[in-house]
Amino acid sequence: MTHKVRIIANDNVTHDVKRIVVEKPEGYTFEPGQATEVAINKEDFKEAKRPFTFTSLPEDEHLELIVKMYEREGVTQEFDKLNTDDELLIGDAWGTIRYKGPGYFIAGGAGVTPFIAILRKLEIDGKIKGNTLLYSNKKEQDIILEVELRQMLGLKFVNTLTQEKKEEYFHGRIDKDFLQYHVKDFSKYFYVCGTMGMTENVLKALKELGVKDEQLIYEQ
């Protein structure tokens, strides 16, 4: 089912990431970690659907989406031009990333978005203890919601940069060596989201380190 929703707020999170708040259709439901297909309600873009994850909580009055605008991707660039009272078209919620228990959240870039609602919910419920976020970005300027995530997770928020060396961040990709260094308990759950290549490489490394399939949660 397609829902037409009005934009209430559209502001910047980073230099190329927008936070878009829209009306919530009556009776609309989703679970933290789930996504939906989104299109801009303008003649040239109605059929150009893109998947985005809800970063709001199911009980919130409005829906919040965090949208990364890709340089060579015309549709996502169009989100930067939207104003309050413009409209989006959203579908029903879908997705296989759901919280099963304490563990390690491993994200690359905009891949952190499914984890934001999950972590916010855990924080509100007083259940965030025992969870760690390992987060990879190209540069410091690319880190999404760094202040909020650090407030929630403290030292359990581990950042690494692949194209920039800075004293307060690790440097390099999340690979097998990185996981061996930062993971203290391989019996926990592992939540993985990033590009297809990153996700495949991280899952492969985790399996080589003894993690079982039933411990792995990712979009399938």
Residue 89 predicted with pLDDT over 70: yes
Residue 67 near residue 18, CB atoms below 8 Å: yes
- CA gyration radius for the chain? 17
- Give the pLDDT of residue 44: 87
Residue 103 near residue 182, CB atoms below 8 Å: no
Burial annotation 71-80 (CB, 10 A radius, 16+ → b, else e): eeeebbeebe
The pLDDT mean for the chain works out to 94
Residue 6 predicted with pLDDT over 70: yes
Residue 193: pLDDT band by 50, 70, 90 thresholds? very high
Residue 75 predicted with pLDDT over 90: no
Residue 109 near residue 68, CB atoms below 8 Å: yes
Answer CATH for 3-90 from 3.40.30.10, 3.30.420.40, 3.40.50.720, 2.40.30.10: 2.40.30.10
128 membership: H or E segment, kind and range: none
Q: How far is CA 87 from the centre of its chain?
A: 23
What is the percentage of the chain residues whose pLDDT exceeds 70?
98
What is the percentage of the chain residues whose pLDDT exceeds 90?
87
Residue 76 predicted with pLDDT over 80: no
- Give the pLDDT of residue 37: 95
- Give the pLDDT of residue 186: 97
Query: Residue 115 and residue 121: Cα distance in Å, rounded?
Result: 10
- Give the pLDDT of residue 192: 98
- CATH 2.40.30.10 residue ranges in the chain? 3-90
- Give the pLDDT of residue 143: 97
Mean pLDDT within 54-73: 89
- Give the pLDDT of residue 14: 94
- Give the pLDDT of residue 11: 92
Residue 74 predicted with pLDDT over 80: no
Instruction: Centre a 10 Å sphere on the Cβ of residue 143 and count the other Cβ atoms it contains.
Output: 23
Output 45 or 134, whichever has higher pLDDT: 134
> Token pair for residue 203?
């899952």
What is the C-alpha end-to-end distance of the chain, expressed in Å? Answer: 22
Residue 209 near residue 106, CB atoms below 8 Å: no
Residue 72: pLDDT band by 50, 70, 90 thresholds? low
Per residue in 151-162, pLDDT (tens digit) is 999 999 999 999
- CATH 3.40.50.80 residue ranges in the chain? 103-217
Q: Report the CATH fold assignment for 103-217.
A: Rossmann fold (3.40.50)
Distances (CA, A) of 5 to 57, 113, 121, 141, 214: 17, 20, 24, 30, 37
- Give the pLDDT of residue 81: 87
Residue 17 near residue 76, CB atoms below 8 Å: no
- Give the pLDDT of residue 149: 98
> Token pair for residue 172?
């390099």
